[in-house]
Structure formats: C-alpha cells, structure tokens
C-alpha cells in the first residue's frame, strides 16, 4: 500500500533516527542478560538499584559502540546500508559523535558507582568497542573485541553485586566462544554488502564458503564448552539442559535448512536465532554453576 501523501514514514523521522542509531534491540538484550545474571548471582534477591544500574550500564556500552560504529562507517554505509541514520542524512555526524561520547561517559559513571572492581571489566568492554570500530573491524581479527567483551560480562555483573568467585573464570573460554559465534552470526547477512576493496574482516578472510559452516562449528563448540564447564563445577539439569537443547535444535535447524542453499534471508534468521540461543545458553550456564 502506498504511503499517504504528505505523511513522513517512521523510518525517515529524526526521532526514529536517534533511536535506530543506538541499536536498542541489541542494547536491551544485553541489559536483560546482565540483569538475569544479577538475579542468578544474588540468588534471586539482588539489591534492586544494583541490578538496574547493571542493565543501564550494559545498555549504555552497546549504545556508545553503535553510535561510534555508524559514525566510522557513514561513507561506506551510503552504498551498503543506506537505511542507517547517518547514511540517510537523518542525523549529523557531530550529533552521533556526541551521543557516543555521552553514553560512554554514562557507562563509566554508572560502572564507577558499582565499585572499582566492577568498573574495570566495564572499561574493558568499552575499550573493545573502540578498538573494533577504529582499528580491527576490517582485519582478520575483527572477531576479537566481541569475544573479549562478551567474556567480561559475567565478571562485571558479579563484581557489581559482590558475588565474584573462582568458578566465574570459566566465563573466559565460554564467553570468548559465545562472542565469536555471535560475531559471525551478526555479520554474515551483511557479507555481500560489506565485500568491498580492502575488506579483510574474518568472514572475508575465510570467504563465505567457510564462514557459514564455521558459524555452525563455533556455535556447537560454545554449547559443548558451556555444558562441560557446568558439569565440572555444578551440574544443575534444570538450568543447563533446556538452554543447551534450544541451542542444539537451532543449530541443527539452520544446518538442515542451509543444505538447500544459503541465502541472505536464511542468514538473517540465523542471526536472530543464534543470538537468542547464545544469550539463553549464557543464562543457563551461569544458573548451573552458581553455588
């Protein structure tokens, strides 16, 4: 159906541009995972303002990283992602830079309010976002910042609620694999649009023929390491089995569906399904190993 005469579509409105720039779905998803971690680590009874600050801080990190990403990519996006706010001239680059700075400062202030030990992994996450956007995004090491950043989420939340323990060191291998699997899942649908001269991200370095099966392999490795580490620490079947089962079903479903050909639409479905499965497995893993 055609747009009404004189009516500005939502996607062309400045307010929508500001919201779109922040990647609210990604930010709210990470905030939800962080708050879930806070409830698990505090045995279902966290201090409400600590849990709230955890969620807001994680949302702010994603918002800052997203605004910076669009600012750095604005020239490339005019050809590949014209719907993004800066590429569509719905927002000035200066405003995006100010927004990125404001959310980064907000994340630091909120992190500091949770204590110095909580601030350190949060600063690590912000540093990962900056290094990715400014240095590594077009290199074979483009996967590294998200792997490190995802692994830092459990220690950040644990320090924020005063519940860090040695078993959380498992978050390093589990989180690193989860972040790597998430990176491939999120970037694969954009493979052709981002396939330009000079693009040497990990997917273009491997080529699409290897990147797609690699995403399945990494998802499988993430599930295996999460389940094995949960078994080594404390096996709680009610936590780990449902989340691992969802991850297994999703991975097998995408592998089976892709036998009939890999398309951008299928990779978009994989992006959403893998992202949900990775988040769910992280929650199930933590719920299983917490004393």
For the record, the structure tokens of 101 come out as 């700075």
What is the H or E stretch that residue 205 is in?
helix 202-206
Pick 206 or 50 by higher pLDDT.
Answer: 50
Q: Is the pLDDT of residue 78 over 80?
A: no
Torsion sign over Cα 173, 150, 164, 290: negative
Q: Is the pLDDT of residue 6 over 60?
A: no
pLDDT given at position 5:
46
Cα–Cα distance for residue pair 23/89, rounded to 1 Å: 17
**What mean pLDDT comes out for the span 48-73?**
92
pLDDT given at position 174:
95
Q: Is the pLDDT of residue 10 over 60?
A: no
For the record, the structure tokens of 48 come out as 């409400």
Half-sphere exposure of 3 (CA within 13 A, CB side): 8
Greatest alpha-carbon span in the chain = 64
Cα–Cα distance for residue pair 20/26, rounded to 1 Å: 11
Q: How far is CA 191 from the centre of its chain?
A: 18
Architecture of domain 10-164: Orthogonal Bundle (1.10)
pLDDT given at position 12:
62
Cα dihedral 267/269/270/271 (nearest 10)? 90
Distances (CA, A) of 94 to 27, 78, 80, 97: 22, 17, 21, 5
pLDDT digits 0-9 by tens, 152-200: 999 999 999 999 988 899 999 999 999 999 999 998 888 777 666 556 6
pTM to 2 decimal places: 0.87
pLDDT given at position 180:
94
Cα–Cα distance for residue pair 227/280, rounded to 1 Å: 13
**What mean pLDDT comes out for the span 117-137?**
93
Break the chain into its structural domains and give their ranges: 10-164, 166-291
**Do 18 and 99 meet the contact criterion of CB atoms below 8 Å apart?**
yes
Secondary structure (DSSP) of 176-197: HHHHHHHHHHHHGGGTTTT--T
**Do 41 and 163 meet the contact criterion of CB atoms below 8 Å apart?**
yes
pLDDT digits 0-9 by tens, 233-280: 777 888 989 999 999 999 999 999 998 888 889 999 999 999 999 999
Query: What angle do helix axes 144-160 and 264-289 make, rounded to 10 degrees?
Result: 30
């Amino acid at each position: 159906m055609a747009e009404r005469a004189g009516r500005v579509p939502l996607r062309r409105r400045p307010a929508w541009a500001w919201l779109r720039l922040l990647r609210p779905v990604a930010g709210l998803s990470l905030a939800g995972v962080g708050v879930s971690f806070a409830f698990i680590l505090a045995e279902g009874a966290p201090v409400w303002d600590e849990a709230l600050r955890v969620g807001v801080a994680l949302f702010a990190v994603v918002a800052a990283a997203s605004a910076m990403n669009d600012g750095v990519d604005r020239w490339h996006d005019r050809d590949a992602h014209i719907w993004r706010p800066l590429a569509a001239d719905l927002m000035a680059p200066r405003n995006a830079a100010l927004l990125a700075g404001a959310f980064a400062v907000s994340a630091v202030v909120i992190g500091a309010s949770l204590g110095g030990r909580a601030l350190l992994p949060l600063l690590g996450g912000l540093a990962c976002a900056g290094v990715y956007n400014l240095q590594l995004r077009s290199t074979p090491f483009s996967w590294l910042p998200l792997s490190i950043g995802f692994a830092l989420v459990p220690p950040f939340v644990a320090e924020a609620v005063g519940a860090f323990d040695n078993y959380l060191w498992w978050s390093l291998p589990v989180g690193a694999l989860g972040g790597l699997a998430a990176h491939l899942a999120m970037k694969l649908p954009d493979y052709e649009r981002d396939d330009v001269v000079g693009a040497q991200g990990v997917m273009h370095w491997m080529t699409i023929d290897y990147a797609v099966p690699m995403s399945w392999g990494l998802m499988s490795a993430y599930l295996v390491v999460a389940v094995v580490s949960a078994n080594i620490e404390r096996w709680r079947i009610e936590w780990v089995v449902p989340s691992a089962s969802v991850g297994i079903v999703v991975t097998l479903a995408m592998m089976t569906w892709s036998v009939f050909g890999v398309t951008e639409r299928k990779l978009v479905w994989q992006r959403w399904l893998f992202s949900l499965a990775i988040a769910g497995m992280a929650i199930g893993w933590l719920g299983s190993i917490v004393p």
